[in-house]
Amino acid sequence: MTGLVPLAAGPSPLWYATRAGGTVALVLLTATVALGIAVGGRYTPRRIARFEVSALHRNLSVLTLAFLVLHIVTAILDSFVHLGWLVTVVPFTASYRPLWLGLGTVGFDLLLAVAATSAVRLRMGQRRWKAVHWLAYAAWPVALFHAAGTGTDTRLTLQLALYAVCVALVVAAVWWRLYRAGPGRVAVRLWAGATALAVPVVLAAFMNSGPLQPGWAHRAGGVTPAATGTVHPAPAPADDEGGPE
């Protein structure tokens, strides 16, 4: 058996840091989006001041970016797959799961655009800033599908429950916003309600036909040790996956 490279005992600490950072970032992004939807517009909370809600929304956004940076840096530093720093800003350039990693890059770019324009909000004007700020809402479903399509722990019960809670929270926020909006702007309200219902349906269909099926690691575009010069960790017993996100 000379010349064979032994399998690693398991994923590296960087892999765990990548998964943990990505999961926390998704939870924080969900909370940020749900809060922004639920209390947006002219709604005024009764028990807390509006500036407190704005401060909470802003702090959640900052924390989301912080954990997202942790998620990205640890993924780049992990030697399982040589991603390179270019994939952090240019979507669909990775050799490892290009589509699903590309969605993560798109989500990160959208959030960067929101953060950058928020820093110059007064110079841009409220209307232009709001137009860009809507990108944060677009980043959420993109990040959700990135996590489901790339994450090697997607088939775990706890991870599936986490995705379900994130979807339920955002959908509930949308319907709460529609409920208190009152009559008027029927077309916009119908579009928002239909979109809120479509996301969980499309996600469930994708999960059942993709990540929850055997062989997803290969179909998603996983690479081999020969392509990267690294060694795959030992795969989980119930799945054909074993690498980092």
14-47 per-position pLDDT tens digit: 988 999 999 999 999 999 999 988 887 655 666 7
d(CA 84, CA 11): 19
Residue 128 belongs to some domain of the structure: yes
Residue 195, CB-side half-sphere exposure with 13 Å CA sphere: 14
Residue 195 belongs to some domain of the structure: yes
Residue 238 belongs to some domain of the structure: no
Within 8 A by CB and 6+ apart from 6, the residues are: 231
Give yes or no for residue 143 having a pLDDT over 90: yes
Question: Which pLDDT value is given to residue 42?
Answer: 59
Question: Which pLDDT value is given to residue 231?
Answer: 38
State the total domains in the chain. Answer: 1
Range of the domain at 21: 13-224
Residue 237 belongs to some domain of the structure: no
Within 8 A by CB and 6+ apart from 178, the residues are: 189, 192, 193
Average pLDDT taken over every residue of the chain? 81
Within 8 A by CB and 6+ apart from 134, the residues are: none
Residue 58 belongs to some domain of the structure: yes
Question: Which pLDDT value is given to residue 9?
Answer: 52
Residue 153 belongs to some domain of the structure: yes
Residue 8 belongs to some domain of the structure: no
Give yes or no for residue 129 having a pLDDT over 60: yes
Residue 68 belongs to some domain of the structure: yes
Give yes or no for residue 5 having a pLDDT over 70: no
